[in-house]
Every structure is written in C-alpha cells, then in structure tokens.
Amino acid sequence: MKVLAQRLTPFPQAIVWSLLITNGFLIALMLALSKTATTQGMPATTYAFWQTLIAGSILLLRSAPIRQMLNRRLLTYFLISGLSGIAIPNVTGFFLVSKLGTGFTGIMYALPPIFTFLMATSMGLEQRSWRKLTGLLIAVMACAWIILQRHSELSDSSPIWFLSGLLIPAALSVGNIYRSVAWPGHTSPMTLAAGTLLACAVSLALFASLTSTPLVSVDFGPGLVKVVVLQGVLTALAYLCSFEIQKRATPVFFSQLGAVAAVFGLLIGVVWFREQYSLTIWLGVIAVITGLRLSNRASSEKQSTNQTPTGVQSQRRT
C-alpha cells in the first residue's frame, strides 16, 4: 500500500492550517450550542439528527447530482464515514457536554492523533518518526492530565460518563483512516461531506426510532429551533472544511483537528458558560500545543528532506 505523504509548500501549508484552525473553532462552537440545546430538554440524538440533516441538505444543493451519489461504493463510504466520523462521536459528545462541560468534552476530540498515527504507520499510510510520535505522546499525555484534573473538579460525576467519552476518539481515529484509504477518486469534498452528513442523518433517524426518541416535539420552542438551524449551518461549514483538509493532508495531520477544538472548547467554556479551570489545566493546554508543534515540526523537516512529486495527492485518491 502506498504511503500517504504529501509535500506542503508554504502557501498550501498556510491553507490547510487555516482550514484546521477554522474547523477546530467551529467544532468547539457547535459543542457549546449543543450544551445550550440539550440542557433545555432536546435529546442528544434528536439534536444530532437535525444538525446533520440541515447541514447535509445545504451542501447537497451545491454537490453532484443525486443519481451520481447513489452507487454502491459511495453509499458504503457515506455510511461508514457518517457513523465513525459524525454519528457516534457527536451523539456521545452532545450527551456528555451537559454532564461534564464543554471543556472536558472538547478534550475528547483531542485524543485521536496518537491512535491515528499508530494505525497509519502500522498500515503503511504514514512514515515512522520518533520525533512525531514523541510530540503526539506529549499532547495525549497532557490531555490525560487535563482529564484527571477535570475529574477531580467534577467529583460528583459518574466514572461511566468519563469512560464513555473514549468512544469519541476511538470512532474518530477509525474514521480518519477510513476516509483517507477509501477516498473515492474524482469526487469533490462537498459531495462527500453532503453524502456523509445525510447518511448520518438516516442512521440517527433509525436509532431514534429504535430508542423511541422523539425527533419532533411541541416542547421544542422557537429558541431551540433557531439554535438547531444555526448548528446546521455551522456544521455544513465545518464538514466542508473537514473534507477539504482530508483531501489536502494526511490522516495524522487531520486528526490534530481535535486538539485545536479542545483548546477552543476550553476558551469558549470560560467566556460563554463561565466555567472555571485551575492553573494545572491551563498548563496542560500549553503542553498539548507544545506537543503538536513538535509533531508538526518533525513532519515539516521530514518533508523538506524527502520531497514528493506533485502527483502524489492524486495517486493517493485512486
């Protein structure tokens, strides 16, 4: 299997980093909005369903004709990508955000890089680099430290909620690898994002039916409807950015999205919800950023000494 590598010249590198930062902020903002909705009585599954349905419908207006999306390969891609990258982590996150706060939930989105890196190197999708591994380990250990500190501050919370939070990084890591390996050639990121979101919405509708979760209720007032619509628009932007990043970069680079979202999640938790964090948690945040910086510096140096032909990106998608 070919190594998924690409040489980022300064301008493309600025583009992917801009997309990563924007996407991380959008994810953190969506978690904050979900806390607003779920604390007002909307089930997490219901919220995730409308979020993905609205976002997928918006992107569908600008994507490929529906008949071109209805082939077995794309439908399989949409289903697996939707479950691993959206449905499982988002429903879990939306449920936990009302129990553990935006900060802790955001940290769960920071854990996939190390697992994605190990999976990618074992499959030959990423070149081995001890420096990159060290940087990712520092970031993940810092996240674990933050979790332990946050757990001590949330002594009334059930340990089961903290353990269930691990579903988020586990599912995201699988999704990161799958989307890169199975990326359909000659298909635009907007089409892939639309199909993935709509497949996720269908899966969530089936899950809601099996669990007797109402998708529509008279208890959902105008305020909640506005939040859901805003969430749908932000989700459309976020997942369009996500697929653009995954088209331009490796799965390990993309997996760092969670760390960016985690930092923004803590900041939004402080500004929006007046959550308070100890000095040790902020030191952990600095360690996360340092670890990711070290990891990406290793990638840049590796790319500068092992330049890849321009056609690699297209070869990777075939």
- Domain positions in the chain: 10-316
Q: What is the pLDDT of residue 9?
A: 45
> CA-to-CA distance for 96 and 191, rounded, in angstroms?
30
> CA-to-CA distance for 156 and 152, rounded, in angstroms?
9
Dihedral of alpha carbons 138, 143, 148, 153, sign: positive
213-244 per-residue burial string, b: 16 or more CB within 10 A, e: under 16: bebeeeebeeebeebbebbbebbbbbbbbbbb
In angstroms, the Cα distances linking 318 to 180, 240, 253, 315 are 11, 21, 20, 6
Cβ–Cβ contacts within 10 Å for residue 115, how many?
19
Provide, rounded to the nearest whole percent, the portion of the chain with pLDDT above 70.
Answer: 82
| Burial class of residue 155 in the structure, from the number of CB atoms within 10 Å of its CB (0-12 exposed, 13-18 middle, 19+ buried) | exposed
pLDDT band at 62 (very low <50, low <70, confident <90, very high): confident
Instruction: Please state the rounded mean pLDDT for residues 145-173.
Output: 71
> CA-to-CA distance for 107 and 143, rounded, in angstroms?
6
Residues 91 and 150: beta-carbon distance below 8 Å? no
Lowest-pLDDT choice from 4-8, 119-123, 140-144: 4-8
Q: What is the pLDDT of residue 271?
A: 80
Q: What is the pLDDT of residue 4?
A: 44
pLDDT digits (tens, 9 = 90+) for 81-115: 888 888 888 788 877 777 776 666 766 776 777 77
Residues 6 or more apart in contact with residue 311 via CB below 8 angstroms:
none
Cβ–Cβ contacts within 10 Å for residue 272, how many?
15
Torsion of CA 43, 48, 50, 54, to 10 degrees: 160
Q: What is the pLDDT of residue 317?
A: 42
pLDDT band at 154 (very low <50, low <70, confident <90, very high): low
In angstroms, the Cα distances linking 17 to 26, 51, 148, 241, 288 are 14, 25, 29, 11, 17
DSSP secondary structure code for residue 183 in this structure: P
Q: What is the pLDDT of residue 55?
A: 94
What pTM was computed for the model? 0.73
The two tokens of residue 87 are 């449905």
Query: Is pLDDT above 90 for 56?
Result: yes
> CA-to-CA distance for 173 and 112, rounded, in angstroms?
5
Containing H/E element for 211?
none
Q: What is the pLDDT of residue 44?
A: 82
- First-last CA distance in the chain: 12
pLDDT band at 276 (very low <50, low <70, confident <90, very high): confident
Higher model confidence: residue 317 or residue 88? 88
Q: What is the pLDDT of residue 236?
A: 93
Instruction: Please state the rounded mean pLDDT for residues 135-145.
Output: 77
Q: What is the mean pLDDT of the chain?
A: 78
Q: Is 196 helix (H, G, I), strand (E, B) or coil?
A: helix
Task: Please tell me which of 49-58, 102-111, 272-281, 297-306 the model is most confident about, judged by mean pLDDT.
Answer: 49-58
pLDDT band at 50 (very low <50, low <70, confident <90, very high): very high
The two tokens of residue 223 are 């305020």
Query: Radius of gyration (Cα) for the chain, nearest Å?
Result: 19
pLDDT digits (tens, 9 = 90+) for 241-266: 988 888 888 887 887 777 787 778 77
φ, ψ of residue 83 in degrees (nearest 5): -70, -50
How wide is the angle at C-alpha 315 spanned by C-alphas 314 and 318, nearest 5°?
Answer: 90
Query: What's the length of the chain?
Result: 318
Dihedral of alpha carbons 66, 68, 72, 78, sign: negative
Provide, rounded to the nearest whole percent, the portion of the chain with pLDDT above 90.
Answer: 12
Dihedral of alpha carbons 83, 316, 302, 127, sign: positive
pLDDT band at 309 (very low <50, low <70, confident <90, very high): very low
